[in-house]
Amino acid sequence: MRFSNCRGRPEFRHFALVNNSVRNEMRKIGYARVSTPTQNWDRQIGALRAERCDKIFREKASGKDIKNRPQLEKAIDELGKGDVLVLAEWDRATRSMLDGVHIIERIHARGALLKVLDKPHLDLTTPIGRGFIAFLSALAEDERQRIVKRANDGRRAAKARGARFGRKPKLNAHQQEEACRRLLAGESARAVARSYAVHHATVSRLRTARI
């Protein structure tokens, strides 16, 4: 018997189903970190392998430097929709609640999930974990707002004490007064600016401010 279309054959239909299931299968991306070159990550790697991670990123970097974690960045970039970032230990990936929530938000934005092996409640693959993360995010937002409020209150208090913000003036008060007198006497802004080694626009703004 001849077949004009191989898709009609049972064995080909079975292959197509298996192929699609493999392509859509969730991947687990592991991450491990130690703080110093003398430490080893055997325990973490063992836990990630037991979790059957498809790929594991590892690095040796100080936990105090939350910006210099290239392998963590690569692990997050590796995530596709439906994938799971598996952390062997939560405090190896983050050092503060705000930093941790930021990582979670980045993972969520990629349509991926998070699982922390030493913190069962930080498991976004379970309803309880997702609820806890929502609560944690609310706490982090409250912390962000309190930080902004403290910064604004500090600026207002400093202004009340006479503090000035922004760049330091190129000319001090005495030089500004002297430059204005020279401008009024007929000197050009460029000539005055050359004597103070500043741009002529700096001197021109003094004249504009006095008008």
Residues near 155 by Cβ (< 8 Å), separated by ≥ 6? 165
Residues near 189 by Cβ (< 8 Å), separated by ≥ 6? 183, 200, 203, 204, 207
Of 4, 21, 35, 137, catalytic: 35
The rounded distance, in Å, linking the Cα atoms of 209 and 40 is 64
Known active-site residue 35: yes
Strand pairing category for 84-87 and 113-116:
parallel
Name the strand (E) or helix (H) holding 30: strand 28-34
β strands within 36-176, DSSP E:
55-60, 84-87, 113-116
Residues near 57 by Cβ (< 8 Å), separated by ≥ 6? 29, 30, 31, 32, 71, 72, 74, 75, 78
What angle do the packed helices 97-109 and 70-78 form, to 10 degrees? 30
Site of tokens 């290239």: 70
Please identify every residue annotated as catalytic: 35
